[in-house]
């Protein structure tokens, strides 16, 4: 009887590990091929891993809450529930070779992998040889003046991670805090936390507290936000926008739209479509910074923040600059539904060039969001509220919305941010019915 390994798949470029958040099966369960059997979380996506064959789950090789790496064996599946499987007898994970591959080809492949490679452009000023690391890590090393060749990598195959850079930097966190799967968040002084009395409770400044560890996703979000504020000087500008035209278009078309498309027409596609048009006029907000070079992106990939259980995820509408309002609405609905059912793929959350977050959906009037690195700007959408406004020197009730643009002041000046938001406002206030 055959034994099939469930292997941790690649979750995208630069992502070499994930947190096993939940097993959906237990040992002895019968599963179908491609049925979801566990959930994993990275800093980019929260998704399910499926069974690689039909059969019985015989061994679970990793525990919930454990950090697992790409190509690690997570479970064993057998065709028969009585097939003997010895602990540790599964073959070590290896790169699968195509059928019919000869020995010479395999040797050539091995030689190719071990041969020195040209360093990536981001590495040229900080490393003297080939170093396995992500662009973010190389950027951090350059800013801190660290030579990557002096850093010992703790990631897969010696890859240098952000935690390794932080551990190496004497002015940052202590190395002991960056080991394992712990978050690089500051801890409270132990002097403020004590256990008193026979109840065994933990107290902070005399107030009883209940300690609950962050989820892996919450830790990753926290690390990412702290890093963004550390790297980028954030500036926010806010405009008030008259949403009367958008309001009227949606009111006149929403029933017909829902009947034709099968989902509701919300304000968000209008806002994303207008943001795309404003980016075309002011491409500086669609860039990234590499040292003293500004990288202008050839595509407009709109990241749309979606609230999910115990976290936030930002799926990306790829090539949004080529889509009309209907195309954006369809893509957005698909991504939101898959985000909330944990069906996103790693590619769905990669490659964003500009982000939109909509706390207005929860009633927030305005916001000051944190930039999603390595982007340089993020649009915050406030609630659309009917209020008194002066229109043609007369008082009128209008649906009004506050929109904020938070931008990286290293790349965008106050004038540049205001001009983009002014264009965004003008597009919405003069929007033509596309239906």
pLDDT per residue as tens digits for the range 220-235: 778 888 889 999 999 9
CB 237 within 8 A of CB 195: no
Catalytic residue selected from 34, 150, 248, 413: 413
Residue 186 pLDDT grade (very low, low, confident, very high; cuts 50, 70, 90): low
The kind and range of the H/E element at 296 are: strand 293-296
The radius of gyration of the chain's CA atoms, rounded to the nearest angstrom, is 25
Angle between helices 268-281 and 325-340 (to 10 degrees): 120
- Average pLDDT rounded to a whole number, residues 301-320: 88
pLDDT at 426 over 90: yes
Residue 274's contacts (CB-CB under 8 Å, 6 or more residues apart) are: 424, 427, 428, 431
**pLDDT tens digits, 54-80:** 888 988 999 888 888 888 889 999 887
Architecture of the domain defined by 121-217: Irregular (4.10)
Q: How many CB atoms lie within 10 A of CB 8?
A: 22
Mean pLDDT across the chain = 80
Nearest-angstrom CA–CA distance, 343 and 333: 13
Residue 413 appears among annotated catalytic residues: yes
CB 163 within 8 A of CB 137: no
- Written as one string, the DSSP assignment of 30-61 is EE-TT-EEEEEE-SS-EEEEE-SSSEEEEEE-
Where do the CATH 4.10.320.10 domains begin and end in the chain? Answer: 121-217
**Confidence (pLDDT) at 41:** 80
**pLDDT tens digits, 344-387:** 888 898 899 999 999 998 889 999 999 999 999 999 999 999 99
Angle between helices 268-281 and 244-261 (to 10 degrees): 120
Would you say domain 3-78 falls under CATH 2.40.50.140?
Answer: no
Q: Nearest-5° angle of CA 67, CA 69, CA 75?
A: 85
Where do the CATH 2.40.50.100 domains begin and end in the chain? Answer: 3-78
- Span of 281-285, 302-306, 418-422 with lowest mean pLDDT: 302-306
**Confidence (pLDDT) at 14:** 54
181 vs 196, higher pLDDT: 196
**Confidence (pLDDT) at 380:** 96
Residue 69's contacts (CB-CB under 8 Å, 6 or more residues apart) are: 8, 16, 17, 155, 156
**pLDDT tens digits, 117-155:** 333 333 333 333 456 666 667 767 776 778 787 787 776
Residue 431 pLDDT grade (very low, low, confident, very high; cuts 50, 70, 90): very high
316 vs 159, higher pLDDT: 316
Q: Nearest-5° angle of CA 207, CA 211, CA 216?
A: 145
User: How many CA within 13 A on the CB side of residue 152?
Assistant: 4
Residue 315's contacts (CB-CB under 8 Å, 6 or more residues apart) are: 303, 304, 306, 335, 336, 338, 339, 344, 348, 349
The kind and range of the H/E element at 246 are: helix 244-261
CATH class name, domain 233-429: alpha beta
pTM reported for the whole predicted model: 0.64
User: How many CA within 13 A on the CB side of residue 176?
Assistant: 0
Mean pLDDT comparison of 19-33, 182-196, 411-425, highest-scoring range:
411-425
Where do the CATH 3.30.559.10 domains begin and end in the chain? Answer: 233-429
**Confidence (pLDDT) at 341:** 85
pLDDT at 205 over 90: no
CB 163 within 8 A of CB 154: yes
Residue 334 appears among annotated catalytic residues: no
């Amino acid at each position: 009887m055959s034994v099939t390994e469930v292997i941790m798949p690649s979750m995208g470029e630069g992502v070499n590990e994930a947190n096993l958040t939940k097993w959906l099966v237990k040992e002895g369960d019968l599963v179908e091929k491609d049925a979801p059997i566990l959930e994993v979380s990275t800093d980019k996506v929260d998704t399910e891993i499926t069974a690689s064959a039909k059969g019985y789950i015989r061994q679970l090789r990793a525990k919930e809450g454990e950090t697992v790496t790409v190509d690690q064996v997570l479970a064993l599946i057998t065709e028969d529930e009585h097939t003997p499987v010895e602990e540790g007898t599964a073959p070590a994970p290896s790169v699968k070779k195509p059928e019919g591959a000869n020995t010479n080809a395999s040797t050539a492949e091995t030689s190719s992998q071990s041969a020195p490679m040209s360093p990536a452009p981001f590495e040229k000023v900080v490393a003297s040889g080939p170093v396995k690391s992500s662009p973010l890590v190389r950027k951090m090393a350059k800013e801190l003046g660290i030579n990557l060749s002096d850093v010992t990598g703790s990631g897969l195959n010696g890859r240098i991670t952000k935690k390794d850079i932080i551990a190496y930097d004497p002015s940052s966190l202590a190395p002991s805090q960056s080991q394992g799967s712990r978050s690089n968040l500051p801890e409270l002084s132990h002097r403020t936390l004590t256990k008193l009395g026979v109840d065994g409770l933990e107290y902070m400044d005399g107030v009883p507290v209940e300690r609950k560890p962050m989820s892996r996703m919450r830790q990753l979000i926290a690390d990412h936000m702290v890093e963004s504020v550390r790297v980028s000087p954030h500036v926010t500008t806010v405009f008030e926008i008259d949403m009367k035209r958008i309001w009227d278009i949606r009111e006149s078309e929403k029933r017909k739209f829902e009947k034709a498309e099968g989902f509701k027409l919300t304000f968000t596609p209008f806002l994303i479509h207008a943001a795309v048009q404003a980016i075309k006029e002011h491409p500086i907000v669609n860039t990234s910074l590499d040292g003293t070079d500004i990288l202008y992106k050839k595509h407009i990939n709109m990241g749309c923040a979606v609230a999910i259980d115990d976290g936030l995820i930002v799926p990306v509408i790829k090539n949004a600059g080529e889509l009309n309002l209907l195309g954006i609405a369809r893509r957005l609905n698909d991504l939101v539904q898959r985000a909330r059912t944990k069906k996103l793929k790693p590619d769905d959350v990669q490659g964003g060039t500009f982000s939109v977050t909509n706390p207005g959906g929860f009633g927030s009037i305005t916001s000051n969001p944190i930039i999603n690195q390595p982007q340089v700007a993020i649009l915050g959408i406030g609630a659309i509220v009917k209020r008194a406004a002066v229109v043609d020197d007369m008082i009128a009730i209008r649906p009004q919305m506050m929109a904020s643009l938070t931008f990286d002041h290293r790349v965008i000046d106050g004038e540049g941010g205001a001009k983009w938001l002014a264009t965004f406002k003008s597009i919405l206030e003069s929007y033509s019915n596309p239906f």
